[in-house]
Structure 1
Amino acid sequence: MSLPKDFLDKMQELLQDEYDLFIKSYEQEKSLGLRLNLLKTDKDHFIKINHMHLTPIPWVLEGFFYQQADRPGKHPYHEAGVYYIQEPSAMSVGTFVGALPGERVLDLCAAPGGKSTHLASQLQNDGLLVTNEIYPQRAKILSQNIERMGVKNAVVLNESPQTLAKHFPSFFDRIVVDAPCSGEGMFRKDEVAQEEWSLDNVLNCASRQADILEEAATMLRPGGRMVYSTCTFAPEENEQAIASFIERHPEFKIESVDSYEGFSEGRVEWSGYEMEEIKRTYRLWPHRVHGEGHYVAVLKKMEDPEVREPKRQFVKPLKDKKKLAPYLEFAKETFINVPSGDYVLFGDQLYIVPSGMLSFDGLKVVRAGWHLGTMKKNRFEPSHALALSLNQADVKHSISLAADSEEIATYLRGGTLPFEGEKGWYLICVDGYSLGWAKLANHMLKNHYPKGLRWN
């Protein structure tokens, strides 16, 4: 691995006695991790049924290291959203956020969705998760991962932080700012990050991060928690970014949170300020933990009795029940209990909007909540997202196939399956985990697994 010379010189100056250990970490294999989706499974059950070589990640209750030979991305459980493959150090962010059911949570720079899906697990489909990505193509990938994990209460947006700040003043209980950064902590796993790195880019990133933090601060309600993170080592983007923000915003303080073995305190001497509380922030070094480089700071906004709740304009649900008739007919035939909530139509796409969501006016919406399906002429076609968010207890007809069976492989390749039963929509599951739809007619299950996701 050929690391940039300016980077090496800078790290030697910063780390001094630890520099040799740091450089040796680049000769080691990168650590691989997956995080269980607690909307779909629980730790005890998964451990009983899984066949991988898993070791617990200390800082994530539902996180595990796995081995390269396990290939979890090539398993039906991955398609069913039973787990999310995520870099181990990055999982620490969700742990420090600690979202609680019922809260309003924002992931401001969210693609591809690792941290958002972690927050969704914590919320347990109770509350509101707004997950945003400024780049359209990355926002699409984010939306696909929200879908795969079966999240019902997430709104996916494709907006700038400035636009969101105007729309959501003092609104969120918790905000994640996983800021775009120079990516130094990813050099071991991402050659592109090495190629794009420069000292000038570090400064450009630091400037952009300051702007993003300003917008995030206006969206956090008094008493709320904001978690700032980067995957870089640069003090300009870490300690200096946080110390400068605290200087500008005395209404914020750095929270003291539990640390984990191998986590290092933030360095006051790198911050540019005499601010002892910088020690409450954390660095994850690849020579100290099994993971890549990361930095995390947990900030709390002080309560302020002078701050009044702004006037809010909430989403207006669909009132005309006639427009819902095809869906309601499908729901009556398919569900044991018809889902309740505020229905909205985006064109011909039907959603249930999470409770407490503000108006969509002026926002670029990628996913408006729980995507139920498409309103066709005189009929309703359920979405893949709906299938992935259900379990067998929710529907009248379901089939569970074994993960190692030929039938599940046939289904994932888009093939039909012979079956005897009552006509209608069937939820196809793998070992009890929902995977997709099929429709039974003439003793055959017609496959509705999305063509773009099918196995070769």
Structure 2
Amino acid sequence: MVQNQPTIKSPAAIQANPHVQPGQIPRRSLLTILLMFDQFQSLIGPSEAEPFAQALRGRPAKSIRPRVDRTCQNLPFATAQVPWFPAGLKVTGGLKATGGLNVTAGAVRPGGYLQYAAADYYIQDAASMLPLAMLKLDPDDWVCDLCAAPGGKASAIAERLGTHGFLLANEVIASRLDVLHYTLARTGRANFLVSNSDPQELAVSLAGQFDKVLVDVPCSGQSLVARKQQTQSSFAENHVEHCAARALRILQCALQLVRPGGLLVFSTCTFAIQENEAQVAALLETYRDSLSAGSYPELEPWRSPLLAGCYRLWPHRDDCAGGFAAAIELSDQIEPTNKIAQTKSTRSKTTRDHEAKTRRTQERKPKDRSKLESVEPMLELGEFHLQKLVENHHWLGYEPGAFAFVERFGHRLGHGLQLARIESKRIEPYHGLSMLLPTLFTPAHRIELDTKNAKSYLIGNAIARGPTDESLATPWSVACWNLKPLGWLKAASNRWNNYLPAWARFTSFSDATGDQTAHPQTNAWPSDDEPPE
């Protein structure tokens, strides 16, 4: 819990609400979904209690976010625009192989199609797109996604930044870094670094460095009840208060990362006022001379009635899981302060001790880190159009914006896209290299697979190599489907060996009608639900 939490002087809209008295964060014992509804009467009317409860017992509509460089005109299912984020699409039904007739939207599994394997789209709940609509990205922005895994929002940011823009995708929980790397690799970009730092550490080392900061704080996850990723215990008062205290610490750190004139976008997947509007009110009051609420006229239908700059989505109104987002604009640099008391790290003592020991060990090791003097070994794989660094036998790739960050701050906070590993003159390319945009990397050799062989490849099978196949200068080739990369193959005497990572493989596929019995499931990723934020 945060000690000496500042008194919240709420605006008139909050003060007028009998459930939120001036000078306190609302508290209420919640035993069931219907009982807890009393807390939200300032937000939705009494007649909505039962529809809201029913929506939490059902699964939300599926939605996808197409990659910005893909047209997605021939999707195997019907879609409609997400109103608050037109680049997003809700799945409205399936398309049969003949006749183009719709089938039930719930039967469609977007993660079971070859288009998903080829990174045409990312599966993301429509509510998670709300903070993306509020970021107001410019191509050359430096952006920090402070709680980035599993990477849905981070990948959207990376796609939308230009070559001189930069994304720092930070994730505190080390076990979630693999899925973050995988998701960012699917963008085809190398304009990012992935870090595994406590927000407080970043606030010290990178204060005032970012034009935009997105922080999707760990929360009680009440909107995840419908997706079976949370239980009704997420509405318990003590749990909500614990999450609010943790989020307040993270938000204070996030503010320190934003440069003067920059923007902080804060989001959650919960409905609790304590974790949403009350947090924003506390920050605006504490830093009243430096902060102001953002305004988005185009998002007026979803504006919170409690506080300016805050926006809400509801599962029964908006056909999504539901969520919250707020925007705070900074006029002056936020310095470390005791106005909102510092709290202990969210990591356990055992974890922090282990990390400290690991850092000390790494510091004693000699570092093989430098700009590559010769690109000759890389030519075996293809032609590169990006900066390359080597660190402990790993080749890392950077677009100009990310390279500028590395030149200024080094690799101590993390590293960029892993291109390949070279050890004893043996080269092994990484999956992310195969997925790069053609403007960044042109592979020495490609193999175009038909649909049958593409599915076989994605399951993990080797691909037959005919006797008439040409002799290659390199054994490495990129497997493609519809001229879009899927991953690496390596030539053997009579076959192409499969180098698709295990976590990117499929076990089965959806057919044209969205058969529910056929869908990918590979170590729980990818799946047809957006992974828990």
Is TM > 0.5 for Structure 1 vs Structure 2? yes
Do the aligned partners of residues 286 and 262 (structure 1) sit closer, same or farther apart at CA in structure 2, a change above 3 Å counting? Answer: farther
Please, what is the CA RMSD of the aligned residues? 2.6
Q: Which of 37, 40, 48 is the matching residue for 1:11?
A: 37
Structure 2 matches for 1:251-266, cutoff 5 A? 251-260=290-299, 262-263=301-302, 265-266=303-304
Q: Give 3-state SS (helix, strand or coil) of 1:180's partner.
A: coil
- Taking the aligned partners of 2:463 and 2:51, their CA distance within structure 1 comes to 55
For 1:344, give the aligned amino acid. Answer: L
Partner residue, 1:136 = 174
Deviating above 6 A after TM superposition, structure 1's stretches of 4 or more consecutive aligned residues are: none
Q: Contact 1:262–1:288 (CA<8 Å) still a contact in 2? A: no
Do the aligned partners of residues 440 and 192 (structure 1) sit closer, same or farther apart at CA in structure 2, a change above 3 Å counting? Answer: same
Q: How many residue pairs are counted as aligned between the two chains? A: 417
Q: Give 3-state SS (helix, strand or coil) of 2:324's partner.
A: strand
Cα displacement (A) at 1:6 = 5.1
Q: Residues 148-176 of structure 1: CA distance to partner in whole angstroms, max 9, x if unpaired?
A: 33331111111110011111010001000
Q: Does 1:211 align with 2:249?
A: yes
Q: Residues 277-301 of structure 1: CA distance to partner in whole angstroms, max 9, x if unpaired?
A: x233111111221112211111111
Q: Which of 259, 282, 285 is the matching residue for 1:221?
A: 259
For 2:429, give the aligned amino acid. Answer: P
Q: Contact 1:391–1:432 (CA<8 Å) still a contact in 2? A: no
Partner residue, 2:147 = 109
Q: Give 3-state SS (helix, strand or coil) of 1:297's partner.
A: strand
- Taking the aligned partners of 1:230 and 1:436, their CA distance within structure 2 comes to 34
Partner residue, 1:68 = 106
Do the aligned partners of residues 434 and 124 (structure 1) sit closer, same or farther apart at CA in structure 2, a change above 3 Å counting? Answer: farther
Q: Give 3-state SS (helix, strand or coil) of 1:245's partner.
A: helix
Q: Does 1:166 align with 2:204?
A: yes
Q: Contact 2:293–2:327 (CA<8 Å) still a contact in 1? A: yes
Structure 2 matches for 1:6-405, cutoff 5 A? 7-15=33-41, 16-17=45-46, 18-26=48-56, 28-38=58-68, 41-42=69-70, 45-47=71-73, 49-66=74-91, 67-250=105-288, 251-260=290-299, 262-263=301-302, 265-268=303-306, 278-302=307-331, 318-319=370-371, 321=373, 325=374, 328-335=375-382, 337-341=383-387, 343-353=388-398, 354-357=402-405, 358-360=408-410, 362-363=412-413, 365=414, 368-391=415-438, 394-402=442-450, 405=451
Cα displacement (A) at 1:426 = 1.8
- Taking the aligned partners of 2:488 and 2:298, their CA distance within structure 1 comes to 44
- Taking the aligned partners of 1:446 and 1:362, their CA distance within structure 2 comes to 36
- Taking the aligned partners of 1:378 and 1:317, their CA distance within structure 2 comes to 17
Cα displacement (A) at 1:218 = 0.8
Q: Contact 1:262–1:289 (CA<8 Å) still a contact in 2? A: no
- Structure 1: where are the runs of 5+ without partners? 269-277, 307-315
Cα displacement (A) at 1:32 = 0.6
Q: Give 3-state SS (helix, strand or coil) of 1:62's partner.
A: strand
Q: Contact 2:144–2:212 (CA<8 Å) still a contact in 1? A: yes
Do the aligned partners of residues 361 and 118 (structure 1) sit closer, same or farther apart at CA in structure 2, a change above 3 Å counting? Answer: closer
- Taking the aligned partners of 1:416 and 1:330, their CA distance within structure 2 comes to 26
**TM-score, structure 2 length as denominator?**
0.73
- Structure 2: where are the runs of 5+ without partners? 1-29, 92-104, 336-367, 508-533
Q: Contact 1:414–1:451 (CA<8 Å) still a contact in 2? A: no
Q: Contact 2:479–2:487 (CA<8 Å) still a contact in 1? A: yes
Do the aligned partners of residues 454 and 344 (structure 1) sit closer, same or farther apart at CA in structure 2, a change above 3 Å counting? Answer: same
For 1:12, give the aligned amino acid. Answer: D
- Taking the aligned partners of 1:415 and 1:124, their CA distance within structure 2 comes to 37
Q: Residues 206-252 of structure 1: CA distance to partner in whole angstroms, max 9, x if unpaired?
A: 11111111111111000111101111111111111001101111211
Do the aligned partners of residues 193 and 432 (structure 1) sit closer, same or farther apart at CA in structure 2, a change above 3 Å counting? Answer: farther
Do the aligned partners of residues 452 and 237 (structure 1) sit closer, same or farther apart at CA in structure 2, a change above 3 Å counting? Answer: closer
The 10-residue stretch of structure 1 (67-76 or 390-399) with the greater mean CA deviation from structure 2: 390-399
- Taking the aligned partners of 2:310 and 2:494, their CA distance within structure 1 comes to 61
